[in-house]
Amino acid sequence: MSTTNNDKQFMQAAIDMASKGMNSNAGGPFGAVVVKNGEIVAAGHNEVTSTNDPTAHAEVVAIRKACEKLGTFQLDDCEIYTSCEPCPMCLGAIYWARPSKVYYACNQQDAADIDFDDQFIYDEIGNGIENRSIKFIPLMRNEALQVFKDWSEKIDKTEY
Amino acid sequence: MSTTNNDKQFMQAAIDMASKGMNSNAGGPFGAVVVKNGEIVAAGHNEVTSTNDPTAHAEVVAIRKACEKLGTFQLDDCEIYTSCEPCPMCLGAIYWARPSKVYYACNQQDAADIDFDDQFIYDEIGNGIENRSIKFIPLMRNEALQVFKDWSEKIDKTEY
């Protein structure tokens, strides 16, 4: 797929966010921007260690900011530019936000080379719920199903 | 694995959060609590539609609150009780937070039955980066690698 000078400019902004976050000791060396209609809507960098938030990866931060700014929980017609291939958590966040495209710079192996090893998590997801290193234990399904039933029957709900 | 009355009490709290979130129109019918040393540290429910945050799933909300309260980006020695098997995003968040165990009530199929279909995202993750319904496009890897190199050489970094 061909990329344009605009794409490069947006990716440079994501890379600059990665540098900025790292140099300010906000967190790991990762940055991302969300673009809509040729303009940057929001930018984020990793903030895990400075905000004590393990979910504050660059993509999640940028997605949250973009949604807040746009007043929506969906990033239709937006593109995400991220300085590194998303980890499984960010990949999940991207699928829930539903942007039209994702541009990424470094890849998963590059991240593993500096000790950010997503492969372990990818493997764990693939292992299935009964074979994970963190134990997943089923409990009280029937009680919880009642809430799902209530949701099904709820009239004034916002679906997503 | 055997479960105790305490476990049931904590799961009931997660289910109650699910009800509460749904009934207050905060978001979907999902709740979670984080427990440490036999006490609930934080509780969360889905807030996607009310806060315009596609990442505000119950587990993510509970993990963020628990980390904030405990002043850490790791949930060592904590257990998470969630009213439904985590989606891929939440599973990723759980692996980054590293609790010791996860108890879940409803399963993935139960969620799909009320139109929260995580299977699509699980499939997309498994498809590999070149075969996804959202296009993933590589761009400017070399430029971004410089930031990773800077990180490797950075002396005052907090690893995670």
SS3 of chain B? CCCCHHHHHHHHHHHHHHHHHHHCCCCCCCEEEEEECCEEEEEEECCHHHHCCCCCCHHHHHHHHHHHHHCCCCCCCEEEEEEECCCHHHHHHHHHHCCCEEEEEECHHHHHHCCCCCHHHHHHHHHCHHHCCCEEEECCHHHHHHHHHHHHHCCCCCCC
Predicted confidence at residue A46, as pLDDT, reads: 98
Q: Is A59 among the catalytic positions?
A: yes
The residue whose two tokens read 């440079």 is A12
Predicted confidence at residue A3, as pLDDT, reads: 85
Segment A80-132, tens digit of pLDDT: 999 999 999 999 999 999 999 999 999 999 999 999 988 889 899 888 888 99
Residue B127 has pLDDT above 90, yes or no: no
Predicted confidence at residue A81, as pLDDT, reads: 98
| Residue A135 or B117, more confident | A135
ipTM rounded to 2 decimals: 0.96
Chain A residues close to B21, C-beta within 8 Å: none
Please state, in angstroms and rounded to a whole number, the distance separating the CA atoms of residues A96 and B118: 10
Average pLDDT along chain B: 95
**Which range has the worst mean pLDDT, A76-85, A128-137, B22-31?**
A128-137
Predicted confidence at residue B119, as pLDDT, reads: 87
- For residues B106-120, give the mean pLDDT: 93
Strands A135-138, A78-84: pairing is unpaired
The residues near A99 (Cβ < 8 Å, ≥ 6 apart) are: A34, A75, A76, A78, A79, A80, B134
Confidence of residue B126 (pLDDT cuts 50, 70, 90): confident
Residue of A nearest to B107 (CA): A141
A106 in Cβ contact with B148 (< 8 Å): yes
Contact flag B113-A64 (C-beta cutoff 8 Å) = no
* Six token digits for residue A20: 């900025």
Contact flag B22-A147 (C-beta cutoff 8 Å) = yes
Strands A101-106, B78-84: pairing is unpaired
Please state, in angstroms and rounded to a whole number, the distance separating the CA atoms of residues B21 and B41: 18
Predicted confidence at residue A127, as pLDDT, reads: 86
Residue B1 has pLDDT above 70, yes or no: no
Predicted confidence at residue A1, as pLDDT, reads: 61
Q: Which residue is catalytic, options A39, A47, A59, A143?
A: A59
Contact flag B160-A27 (C-beta cutoff 8 Å) = yes
Q: CA distances (Å), A13 to each of A34, A55, A86, A102, B124, in order?
A: 10, 21, 17, 14, 27
Segment A34-92, tens digit of pLDDT: 999 999 999 999 999 999 999 999 999 999 999 999 999 999 999 999 999 999 999 99
CA atoms within 13 A on the CB side of A144: 32
The residues near B118 (Cβ < 8 Å, ≥ 6 apart) are: B87, B88, B108, B111, B112
Residue B117 has pLDDT above 90, yes or no: no
Segment B42-90, tens digit of pLDDT: 999 999 999 999 999 999 999 999 999 999 999 999 999 999 999 999 9
Contact flag A144-B106 (C-beta cutoff 8 Å) = yes
Chain B residues close to A75, C-beta within 8 Å: 54
- For residues B4-28, give the mean pLDDT: 97
